[in-house]
Structure 1
Amino acid sequence: MSQDKAHDQNNNGDTNIEITPEMQAFYQRADAIIGLANSQLGPDAHSGQVGASLLYAAARYSASVASIGFVKGEDFAKEKDDIVEFYVKQYRQMLSDNLTDYAQNFDKYVQLNKEDKTAN
């Protein structure tokens, strides 16, 4: 999967949105994580396996981030449903936006994926 896809997605393809330095840093972090995930692909791990590991890592990291500010585990546990709802809502929106972007740029992305595979 090409790392450039994150840069092509400006709120469902709206090219009138200015990319702020904060947004650029966000995309750069995402690209770095995508690069790491891509580096895990090989004979022992296909994209589905790497994707599952990436989802698991995101869940573990999100749980850690969500715990910041809590003093007691029991207080943290009481907020579990709200925390899950927040992260699921965020993921659903990001996934939907990226699926829309991928569909709109399918031929371009398929070509990028072919180029990525022939370059290796």
Structure 2
Amino acid sequence: MKISEASRVSGVSARSLRHYEDEGLIASGRCSNGFRDYCQSTIDRVFVIRSLRESGLPVRLIREVLPHLTDEPDAGTDMVCAEFLHEVQSYRDRLAARIAVLSDQQAALDTYLREARRTDP
């Protein structure tokens, strides 16, 4: 299917499909006129990528684990998955730390606004 149909079916923009291809996450065939041609297995892969991206994972991590999520299992998959899970946990922990800092900043601003409103004539 052409990129416009692949975009519609997968729910991601044509620009995102091109980006995923540039990043090596997906591959497309080419028609005789040079247009990209996407098969159903590529669209299925896009669904996985989209789900991982919506979880906030960076492309770097997705690129590492994607073959093990979408291709046939092979030797070493358990090790890769364990490393991936460690990376995901580390990413999640960094995210939680950032959220904590932002929550503290929000609380400080809330306090400031409460105090400012009390003294406002």
TM over 0.5: no
If asked which structure has higher relative contact order (CA below 8 Å, sep 6+), I would say 1
Q: Specify the structure having the higher radius of gyration (Cα).
A: 2
TM-score normalised per structure 1: 0.32
TM-score normalised per structure 2: 0.32
